[in-house]
């Protein structure tokens, strides 16, 4: 049980990265989200609920600029919390026009292992200014052009996807900044699938992020992600094959969607 709960936060992180997808089209598509959007996911191992994760979008200002304040939170619950307590907070302040992040906050407590960092992005000079609040240290790291953090990337790419052009096997890479490093992230489009959910049947786009194998994931291609094939690009399910089995995060509740949520109706 402890191993399952320990890996829960990896799945939460993967969920935030799930829309790193091919085809960032030059033309604009309909904005996929708005202030007030909120998702809740149940993270489970078989019938055992390991915890819950949420994502929420609010209006805010950052240095007098209008931004979206995006908040991610994950925690263990019930019996799982007795074995291994997890409370993870992730926040990103994203420019409403460019969809680029200005600040990323990561505050985690995983069984007593704690991190507390604030990263301010200089999108003009391509720098990340990192303040480690736990150790009261600061440093600056070079970043890529138009760098994204792990939270902002999810929302940035939701606004750029043109699913009509996706072909099975398409791949792309994107660089994200996490902790103190730039990370390349590759994703493969697997096709379309109708998913049975508690909301009904949902047409989905299916992706496979290519992750580094080793201590957490069994192999490079051990993560699969489904998102709604509509203007919202709602994450429906994330499934990870781990050394201890398979763990899933399923969308359980939502509100504040910008577009109608399409359900497949059987004739």
pLDDT tens column, 207-245: 887 755 554 445 555 788 899 999 999 999 999 877 667
Question: pLDDT: is 6 or 39 the higher one?
Answer: 39
Tokens 């069984």 — which residue? 111
Distance CA 208, CA 198 (A): 23
Q: What is the pLDDT of residue 220?
A: 56
Least confident of 86-90, 184-188, 227-231, 234-238: 184-188
pTM exceeds 0.95, yes or no? no
Mean pLDDT computed over 89-112: 94
List Cα–Cα distances, 234 to 132, 180, 229, 248, in angstroms.
33, 29, 8, 16
CA 3 to chain CA centroid, nearest Å = 22
Least confident of 70-74, 78-82, 214-218: 214-218
pLDDT of residue 128 exceeding 80 = yes
Question: pLDDT: is 264 or 93 the higher one?
Answer: 93
Q: What is the pLDDT of residue 5?
A: 44
Rg of the chain taking only CA atoms, in angstroms:
18
pLDDT of residue 16 exceeding 60 = no
Distance CA 92, CA 121 (A): 11
């Amino acid at each position: 049980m402890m191993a399952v709960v320990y890996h829960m936060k990896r799945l939460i992180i993967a969920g935030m990265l799930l829309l790193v997808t091919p085809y960032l089209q030059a033309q604009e598509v309909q904005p996929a989200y708005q202030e007030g959007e909120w998702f809740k996911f149940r993270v489970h191992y078989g019938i055992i609920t390991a915890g819950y994760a949420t994502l929420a979008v609010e209006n805010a200002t950052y240095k007098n600029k209008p931004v979206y304040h995006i908040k991610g939170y994950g925690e263990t619950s019930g019996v799982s919390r007795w074995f291994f307590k997890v409370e993870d907070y992730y926040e990103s302040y994203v420019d409403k026009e460019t969809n680029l992040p200005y600040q990323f906050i990561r505050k985690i407590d995983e069984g007593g292992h704690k991190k507390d960092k604030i990263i301010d992005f200089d999108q003009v000079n391509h720098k990340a200014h990192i303040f480690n609040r736990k150790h009261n240290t600061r440093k600056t790291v070079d970043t890529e052009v138009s760098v994204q953090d792990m939270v902002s990337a999810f929302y940035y790419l939701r606004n750029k996807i043109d699913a009509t052009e996706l072909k099975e096997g398409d791949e792309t890479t994107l660089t994200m900044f996490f902790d103190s490093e730039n990370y390349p992230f590759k994703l493969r489009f697997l096709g379309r699938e109708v998913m049975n959910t508690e909301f009904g049947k949902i047409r989905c786009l299916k992706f496979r992020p290519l992750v580094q194998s080793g201590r957490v994931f069994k192999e490079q291609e051990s993560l699969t992600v489904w998102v709604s094939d509509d203007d919202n690009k709602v994450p429906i399910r994330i499934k990870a094959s781990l050394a201890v089995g398979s763990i899933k995060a399923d969308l359980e509740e939502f509100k504040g969607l910008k577009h109608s949520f399409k359900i497949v109706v059987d004739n």
